[in-house]
Chains A and B, each alone.
Chain A
Amino acid sequence: MILFKRAETLAATHARTAMLFLAPTFLVLAAVGLYPLSRTIWLSFTDANFFADDVRFVWFDNYLDLHANPDWWAALYNTVFFAVASVALQVVLGIAFAMVLNVNFAGRKFARAANLIPLVIALTVASQLWKWMYHDVFGVVNDALLRLGLIQDPVAWLNNPNTALWAIIAMSTWKFVPFVTLLVLASLQGIPKELYEAAEIDGAGPIARFIRITLPMLKSAIAVVVVFRMLDALRVFDIVYVMTGNSPATVTISMFARQQMIEFGLVGAGSAASVEIFLLIILGTMIYMRMLKVEDR
């Protein structure tokens, strides 16, 4: 009895100590996360702007205006399209690259190092580089395709609304395939060789081995990669802003929110857009959590 009581006090002490150690983290999180977030939510219900000091509470007006604005829906479409297409390409190519790099061949070390180059180039720098590569007159992309006879006339990749978003998706794919490759490769190396040997003895071909062994063993790594990349892609700003600026064919939701707030000075309206972006990301995170839970079982 006494022992039990003592254990309880010990647990309580432990809990108190834990809280003490966690307190600084909570405080920092509250300062850099909770405060800005709650302030943004509060601002989204006001008509705060750069041009007047008195702020009025306007309830859901900013949200109603946002939903009545066709530009918001166009930006949302662009963002989701970009996220789905670029992440799908990145994952498929990333797995393929990882499979190749997992095989022993001469120069494998070099190939692995080279694979990482896009990752180490700063995103804005890479975007600017690609912008020049896509240039309609001096661009290397047009030059190469013309020489290969694949196109007749130079294409203004970033100006033509039919190609602009795809051109940006291509750039994002180039940039983030190495990230997927890296994570998948690590997971690939953890698959026991015995599984493949056993499958081979049972007469499974390479395709069957990939579908029955490799993919199931990679499932959790792929789930993490997809959600990670997805959350990043949904808030894309820099790549698009550098490559096509405010061009309406490629505006994303983050750019929309920034324009409302910074360019137009409409802090309330911009905050409402930010809150909706936040909710979208939260939704993504919840799906992510659920996926991880499934993996745990």
Chain B
Amino acid sequence: MKLSTFRKAAVGVAAAFMMTASAGAALAQQKITIMPGAWSGNTIDFLRQQIKPWEEKNNTKVEILNVPNNGTEILAIMQQNLAAENSDIDINAMDVVWQGMLERYAVDMKQFFTPEEIAKYTPATISLNTIKDRLIAVPFYGDVGLFYYRTDLLKKYGFNEPPKTWAEVKEMSDKVQAGERAAGNANFWGFVYPGSVYEGFATDLVEWISSYGGGTWVDKDGNVTANNPQSKAALEELTSWVGKTVPPGVTSYIIDDARGAFQSGNYLFMRNWPYAYAAMQAEGSAVKDKFAVTAIPHGPDGKSASGLGGWQLWISKFSKNQKLAADLIKFINSPENQKDRMLKLARLPGYPELLNDADILKTYPWVEMVKNFDLVARPSGSTGTKYSQVSNAALKAVNDMMTGRAKVPERLEQLDKELNRIKGRGW
């Protein structure tokens, strides 16, 4: 009797322990950490809202890391983490030019995504993200270079069409800038873009030189082509605008500085990504319903080409929750979520079929036009792991030209040599 009481007590204690333990297991959440690229503040809150249902369904906490809104910085943070084999970040983001540098740290998405799921994305982007037959990332959102212009001001000064060539941009800028300044707005400028020495400006640069027929610094076969008459003409013209049509401060602007400047109402033209459209159409914006977008202008010998941008999501090979992470990426990229991100934040969906969506076309009439844009890519495909150095060399050279530290022909010659030095025995 006594023994049986003892046994009962023991069983009871054991049961209590087991119940506590299982309750603990139910409470212990899994965790996925995601670093979604150039997202910060409001956009992170937006993403957090989108992810919430998935968190609840999978009993998983998703931590979204806030990083600088600057691609160069994000790459630096990521490379440090990956070189240290840090397993804390499960999902990383990747600019469209980093595949060569990050490929070795990424898992093959084909083990988590069925061919049908992969086929829904734009085939060009999928092939860009396929390295050595491994799908290292899936598109998060797309980006194309857009040329923003003030509809009200062009009309006011008698221009019925947005500019098609850089010469027209200059002509319109001169006229409107002179007029607005005479009317008392001393801070009015013709054109603004993110001209800082950082990756965001590298896309503008290939747009500039390729719009004159001057290539993309390094061609598809890996030959350095920086120093050619067309790129020289492009840089002679466009860098000479700084201080005249373009405020001298642009050499420290990143994209959101340019967006802020244009949104203040004191600029006629701006080169930016689609996201700026949603931000500037928001309530309280000084330029709401006063602007529109068109294709990037071109030079005398070239044709218009929009810089290809965009971000991908990928899973770190050091992640301990790869399968769960892949599931989260699928959820983030559900058609509903992609559409919502486009409608609210103007982040182009990775599914081309969504570009025919009636709501999207109604909110952004320019999407129809964007589908037919010619695209130009930064030379990351041919330069691989050395792309950062190539891009930095070009950015520094153009910065020297813009700030008047060097003359265009000599600096371009020097850049050509520098790129060949970086290339060394091969990319």
Interface positions of A (Cβ within 8 A of B): 49-51, 71, 135-137, 155-156, 158-161, 244-249, 259, 262-265, 267
Contacts and interface: CB of A to CB of B under 8 A. Distances in A.
9 contacts: A50-B83, A50-B101, A137-B247, A159-B251, A246-B197, A247-B252, A249-B399, A259-B392, A265-B101
Contact of B248 (A50, A71, A160): A160
Highest count of chain A CB atoms <10 Å: which of B196, B251, B261: B251
Given A245-B198, A265-B79, A156 B248 contact: yes
Contacts of B248: 136, 155-156, 159-160
Given A161-B403, A265-B388, A247 B197 contact: yes
Contact of A50 (B79, B197, B261, B389): B79
B405 interface: yes
B180 interface: no
B267 to A, nearest CB: 11
Interface residues of B, number: 33
B60 interface: no
A51 B247 contact: no
Given A156-B251, A246-B196, A248-B197, 14 more contacts: A71-B396, A135-B249, A137-B249, A137-B266, A156-B248, A159-B248, A159-B251, A245-B197, A246-B197, A247-B197, A247-B251, A248-B399, A262-B76, A262-B79
Contacts of B218: none
Interface string B262-273: 000010000000
A263 B403 contact: no
A158 B386 CA distance: 29
A249 B249 contact: no
Given A51-B104, A159-B251, A263 B404 contact: no
A263 B83 CA distance: 12
A161 B187 CA distance: 22
Given A50-B101, A259-B392, A245 B83 contact: no
A263 B198 contact: no
B50 interface: no
Contacts, number: 82
A136 B266 CA distance: 14
B136 interface: no
Contacts of A267: 83
A244 B385 contact: no
A159 B400 CA distance: 10
B72 interface: yes
A158 B80 CA distance: 29
B247 A248 contact: no
A278 B329 CA distance: 45
Contacts of A265: 79, 83, 101, 385, 388
B332 interface: no
Interface string B381-415: 00001101100100110011001110000000000
Contacts of B104: 51
A267 to B, nearest CB: 8
A159 B246 CA distance: 13
A159 B76 contact: no
A217 B85 CA distance: 56
Contacts of A262: 76, 79-80
Contact of A159 (B82, B187, B403): B403
B396 A248 contact: yes
A263 B73 CA distance: 8
By secondary structure, the A interface counts as loop
B249 A161 contact: no
B392 A247 contact: no
A51 B251 CA distance: 31
B187 A137 contact: yes
Contact of A246 (B79, B198, B389, B403): B198
A139 to B, nearest CB: 9
Nearest to B405: A161
B419 to A, nearest CB: 14
B75 interface: yes
Highest count of chain B CB atoms <10 Å: which of A50, A158, A244, A267: A50
Interface string B75-117: 1100110110000000000000000010010000000000000
Closest 3 CB pairs of A and B: A156-B248, A136-B249, A246-B197
B219 to A, nearest CB: 22
B248 to A, nearest CB: 4
A161 B385 contact: no
Nearest to B196: A245
Contact of A156 (B75, B187, B247, B395): B247
B400 A264 contact: no
Given A51-B104, A263-B392, A264-B392, A248 B405 contact: yes
Contact of B389 (A135, A156, A245, A264): A264
A247 B248 CA distance: 14
Contacts of A51: 101, 104, 385
Contacts of B80: 262
Contacts of B266: 137
A158 B388 contact: no
A263 B80 CA distance: 9
A250 B249 CA distance: 15
A155 B403 CA distance: 12
A160 B76 contact: no
Contacts of B399: 247-249
A8 to B, nearest CB: 52
B145 to A, nearest CB: 22
Nearest to B104: A51
A135 B403 CA distance: 16
Nearest to A53: B104
Contacts of B404: 161
B405 A249 contact: yes
B187 A263 contact: no
A51 B105 CA distance: 9
Contacts of A159: 248-252, 403
